[in-house]
Structure 1
Amino acid sequence: MQIHPLKLMLSPTFARCSSNLKPYILKTKPLSSSSLDFSPWSGLQPWRESPLNKNRFWGPNGPQTPPSSIDTNGTSLLDSASSLAELGALVLSTSDPLSKSKLSHLAFSKWRNEKLPIGIYDPPSRPARPPKPELVSPKEIPAPKDSGMPLNAYMLHNLAHVELNAIDLAWDTVVRFSPFSEILEEGFFADFAHVADDESRHFAWCSQRLDELGFRYGDMPAHNLLWRECEKSSDDVAARLAVIPLVQVRQIIHK
């Protein structure tokens, strides 16, 4: 029976036979075998095997492929990239949110279509970001009545911020831990790249609706809570897998 790569990474036996690895990938204390038992989500394999989702426009009946009037052409930025890690680094280095969203989809598509290797690449110290929104502490985020935006636009802006952070988080995980692809195995990186593609589509939908309401992402301040926690787990893959989803949920339920 094939053992899940995370089980291997956290097991005492694996830790003993991998003493030559950088220590940060083995920071987590060994867990008992019973605590590692889990029931996979029944939709996981269908999601992994699903075709590329090009429904990046929200039409009158829900998600659809963009109209011909919307630019869906590729970009030369990705032409020379030869690995998933390099593609991810290019996305992380893109500051314009809509361009980042578009590049995220193109990067995942290129990797899947061309069957590129995971590769190894250094991530930027922090993802490139636009001048707006201004990043402030969570306590400084204006209440809806003080934001200058109607409630629906206010909520969409907050959701767009979560989605943009999720794009960066997924690609940072791919790039930052790319030196350990032999340990984590390809499925780990494929899943995170797929997540980045999904999140980029969600951001595109939020941005489209904000524009239809007369607003845009950046029209009100946002916080940097998620990326702050991401930086704390930059040297510990197990911590990132465990902690970051909790922070993402906290962001959503407190909006």
Structure 2
Amino acid sequence: MHTDTDPRPSLAAAIRAALLTADPRAKVMATRAVARDWRLGRLAWRFDVAMPDRPARPDRPELLAPKHMPKRGRGGSERARIALWHAIAHIEFVAIDLALDMAGRFGAEMGPDFVTDFLSVAADEAMHYAIIARHMAGMGAAYGDLPAHDGLWQAAEATTHDVAARLAVVPMVLEARGLDVTPATLERVRASGDATGARILSRILADEIRHVRFGSLHFSDNCKKRGIPPDSAWMELVSTYVSGAVKPPFNDSAREAAGLSRECYSALASANNHG
């Protein structure tokens, strides 16, 4: 049992500090340190500081509304390749903050297992970002060279008040979309002869299945504690917070491995198509 006299640094303060680290390399290190320190019992179970409204961001990339993003271009040109990896790096970088914020904002309410799961997600995302940055460096490119969109964090801002909404939207819709699109990207990267890139994407896909599963498990547990059916609650929350984002094609096997209900997302996709 932790007491007010516990001399260890507070868990919330450590998570907040990582969220407020702007430099990508420093954020990777801070995130891995928080996850490690929590796992090793070096942080006290104290939620004595609030999470920031927005995490710190580096000066670059320039963040644009999704509709203002330049087209990546087709084909196997070096420019198109770099644009693809830059987009993936941005998703993984923002995912670090999404997982940190999940643990820091809702951990007191949800408990130690929840914090452990989402700090492990944050550490995974930090590792993904780091290996992508290294891969990009081999192409003579770096994160920040191109603009990026700000849509991912907007989903977090819309759900700061409700852990069920955050779980429904971030792991169970946004990350689940990664399960759907990554296999085709992986095939394209492999066909271009980029064996290292293919290995990176295979690793990310395997990890993301686990991340989505954490989301679906904690969402179901939260719904059961509140005495509401998880499937209908998820459909209602996604209809409220996500506009038209649930659409096929779906990676049914990966989604099933992650604990997502095919009946639910198929019904939502059908409703979106007819709406």
Provide TM-score, normalisation by structure 2: 0.58
| CA deviation after TM superposition for structure 1 residue 149, in Å | 5.6
1:203 alignment partner in structure 2: 129
| C-alpha distance in structure 2 between counterparts of 1:195 and 1:235, whole Å | 21
Contact 2:53 2:157 in 1 (8 A): no
Question: What do residues 105-132 of structure 1 show as CA deviations (whole Å, max 9, x unaligned)?
Answer: 1111122123433310211111000111
Give the secondary structure class of the aligned counterpart of 1:177.
helix
Q: Structure 2 counterpart of 1:102, which letter? A: M
| CA deviation after TM superposition for structure 1 residue 84, in Å | 2.2
| C-alpha distance in structure 2 between counterparts of 1:201 and 1:124, whole Å | 23
> Is 1:213 paired with 2:132?
no
Question: What do residues 60-106 of structure 1 show as CA deviations (whole Å, max 9, x unaligned)?
Answer: xxxxxxxxxxxxxxxxxxxx971322211010000011110111111
- Alignment equivalent of 2:28, drawn from 84, 87, 101: 101
Q: Structure 2 counterpart of 1:131, which letter? A: D
Provide TM-score, normalisation by structure 1: 0.62
Task: Summarize the Cα distance change of 1:92–1:149 in structure 2 as closer, same or farther, 3 Å threshold.
Answer: farther
For structure 1, the 5+ residue unaligned runs are 1-79
Runs in 1 of length 4+ with deviation above 3 angstroms?
Answer: 248-255
| CA deviation after TM superposition for structure 1 residue 251, in Å | 6.6
> Is 1:167 paired with 2:96?
yes
Give the secondary structure class of the aligned counterpart of 1:123.
coil
- Alignment equivalent of 1:191, drawn from 112, 117, 121: 117
- Alignment equivalent of 2:53, drawn from 81, 105, 125: 125
Matches within 5 A, 1:117-156: 117-120=44-47, 121-145=49-73, 150-156=79-85
Contact 1:135 1:224 in 2 (8 A): yes
RMSD: 2.3
- Alignment equivalent of 1:226, drawn from 130, 145, 152: 152
Contact 1:118 1:178 in 2 (8 A): no
Matches within 5 A, 1:18-29: none
Contact 1:226 1:248 in 2 (8 A): no
| CA deviation after TM superposition for structure 1 residue 154, in Å | 1.5
Q: Structure 1 counterpart of 2:169, which letter? A: V
| C-alpha distance in structure 2 between counterparts of 1:227 and 1:94, whole Å | 16
| C-alpha distance in structure 2 between counterparts of 1:206 and 1:81, whole Å | 34
| CA deviation after TM superposition for structure 1 residue 244, in Å | 1.1
| C-alpha distance in structure 1 between counterparts of 2:153 and 2:36, whole Å | 25
Equivalenced residue count is 172
Structure with more of its chain in helix, by fraction = 2
Task: Summarize the Cα distance change of 1:81–1:164 in structure 2 as closer, same or farther, 3 Å threshold.
Answer: farther
1:248 alignment partner in structure 2: 175
Question: What do residues 133-166 of structure 1 show as CA deviations (whole Å, max 9, x unaligned)?
Answer: 11111122112239x9622221111111111111
Contact 1:171 1:196 in 2 (8 A): yes
Contact 1:162 1:248 in 2 (8 A): no
- Of 244-253 and 198-207, the range deviating more from structure 2: 244-253
| C-alpha distance in structure 1 between counterparts of 2:156 and 2:14, whole Å | 20
Contact 1:83 1:111 in 2 (8 A): no
**Identity across matched positions, percent:** 37
1:24 alignment partner in structure 2: none
Structure number with the bigger relative contact order (C-alpha 8 A, sep ≥ 6) is 1
